[in-house]
Amino acid sequence: MSFYRTYRPQVIGEIDNVAVHAQLLSLLTKDKKHLPHAFLFTGPRGAGKTTAARIIAKLFNCLKPTKYGPCGKCEQCVSIADGRNLDVLEIDAASNRGIDEMRLLRDSINLAPSGAAFKIYIIDEVHMLTTEAFNALLKTIEEPPAHAVFVLATTDPQKVPATITSRCTGISFHRATGEELMNALKRIVKEEHIEIDEGALTLIAGSVDGSFRDAVKTLEQVSFHTGKITKEVVATLISASDEDIIARFLDALKARNAMPALTEVATLTSQGKDIKFFMQSCLGALQKELVTGADVKDLIRRFVEAYGMMKISPLPELPLELIVVEYCGPVPIKPEGRVEGSPSTPASPAGGSPNLGLLTLEKLTEHWLDFISALKPYNNSVAGVLRSARPKAVDHGIVTIEAFYQFHKDKLSESRTKDILVDVLKKLFGEKVKVEIILGKK
């Protein structure tokens, strides 16, 4: 069994996330009758949400609780830890958007628990539920039977409707600090008798962007090394995997194949990798090719330019994505009625972009789906939100987008989201516009 599963914290005392540890301990001061029956766990992946959700399940159903919380040893605690407890249902909303599960939940929730005192519903990535599934969930959370407990978890709380969040006790999971990661790693090192020095552990903790899961996985990978594990051993392992990414990224770029290159960037971003360091490494690789006579001058210039842009970019990955999109050519849309540089092209009154005023509501409506698919590599969840929004007006360089849910409007109105929308609109239609989001009536 993997380190991550073997050493998953089983009782409150083993939770390394200090803030979460404290919040769970504070629940112990309450009588079980007065515990909240709906929780919302928010925070990045790998921060320990599922682990804590199972501990909540034990908190309600442990047969021999101590003053420190669930025992971790009784039949209930052990079967919950193994994921085979009939009264603890774990639902992954990301896999099929939860429609069938929510129906099942609604139909089965009134049945008494099979062996325990409470039925615990753990719904992971709850923001992925469809509107229909959200509504079904809301109905059950509004009037739950006394034996039902909900633990909802999400990496994207903005997308959970306020009608749900307002009924939950929130616990937020921040990225693990270096110290918290070190504590988690040291517990495993001790149990597994791994020969590893402090510097090597610090390097692992510093390379995982606060994810307990990634830290433990990296430790497991390096543990296969024979002999003492030093900082150098870890550094080689971590950089080796990065070399593969750099090679794949540059190959896709040189083949002017935008999608796989953008996918690599998305992976880097989601793993919290240092984009600046990645760009330096790409430049290093290109420099090596330059001296062999390869035709990479154009790419090198673009990287140098993008590197400079990083200081002012609101999103660190954006300059890198621009290299891809610009070098691989425009997104294929027929430039209807628009001829670059033709005499009939109206000049910009502001003296800025020569294309000002060419984007119309008709054109945007016609290419709305192209717009959404062009956005996807930048931000998949924003693309998802846009699918249920629509262009409302284009006037004097302002594009108004109509959203139909408050949380959609909030998501699209975030300044970093707006920056992406503006950028992709510019890529597609050659015009720098402002974006306004309004809330429409369904």
What x/- string results for residues 171 through 190 when contact with Zn ion is judged by CB under 5 A? --------------------
As given in the structure block, the two tokens for residue 102 are 């929510």
What x/- string results for residues 15 through 54 when contact with Zn ion is judged by CB under 5 A? ----------------------------------------
Q: How far apart are CA 427 and CA 328, in angstroms?
A: 12
* Count of residues that bind Zn ion according to CB under 5 A: 5
Quote the least distance from Cβ 255 to Zn ion, whole Å.
57
8 Å CB contact between 208 and 237: no
As given in the structure block, the two tokens for residue 242 are 């990065």
How many Cβ atoms from other residues are within 10 Å of residue 263's Cβ?
14
The Cβ-side half-sphere exposure at 198, using a 13 Å CA radius, reads 1
Minimum CB distance to Zn ion smaller for 11 or for 164: 11
As given in the structure block, the two tokens for residue 391 are 């262009």
Minimum CB distance to Zn ion smaller for 82 or for 179: 82
Quote the least distance from Cβ 143 to Zn ion, whole Å.
29
Minimum CB distance to Zn ion smaller for 70 or for 377: 70
Quote the least distance from Cβ 271 to Zn ion, whole Å.
36
290 binds Zn ion (CB under 5 A): no
Minimum CB distance to Zn ion smaller for 116 or for 229: 116
Nearest CA to 172 out of 396, 17, 395, 12 is that of 17
Quote the least distance from Cβ 66 to Zn ion, whole Å.
9
Minimum CB distance to Zn ion smaller for 71 or for 266: 71
Q: Exposed/middle/buried for 304, CB within 10 Å: 0-12, 13-18, 19+? A: exposed
Backbone angles phi, psi at 117, to 5 degrees: -80, -35
Choose which of 62, 128, 189, 315 interacts with Zn ion (CB under 5 A). 62
**Largest alpha-carbon pair distance within the chain?**
84
As given in the structure block, the two tokens for residue 131 are 């509107």
Quote the least distance from Cβ 156 to Zn ion, whole Å.
33
Minimum CB distance to Zn ion smaller for 40 or for 62: 62
Quote the least distance from Cβ 409 to Zn ion, whole Å.
45
Q: Exposed/middle/buried for 368, CB within 10 Å: 0-12, 13-18, 19+? A: middle
**Which residues in the 334-363 window bind Zn ion by CB under 5 A?**
none
Q: What is the DSSP string of 336-382?
A: TT--TT-TTSPPPTTSS-TTTT---HHHHHHTHHHHHHHHTTT-HHH
Quote the least distance from Cβ 61 to Zn ion, whole Å.
8
Minimum CB distance to Zn ion smaller for 70 or for 210: 70
As given in the structure block, the two tokens for residue 324 are 């891809």
Minimum CB distance to Zn ion smaller for 74 or for 89: 74
**Which residues in the 71-90 window bind Zn ion by CB under 5 A?**
71, 74, 77
Q: Which stretch binds Zn ion (CB under 5 A): 60-68, 240-248, 341-349, 430-438?
A: 60-68
Quote the least distance from Cβ 81 to Zn ion, whole Å.
10
Q: Radius of gyration (Cα) for the chain, nearest Å?
A: 26
Amino acid (one-letter) located at 416: R
Nearest CA to 286 out of 301, 296, 274 is that of 296
User: Which residues here bind Zn ion, judged by CB under 5 A?
Assistant: 62, 70-71, 74, 77
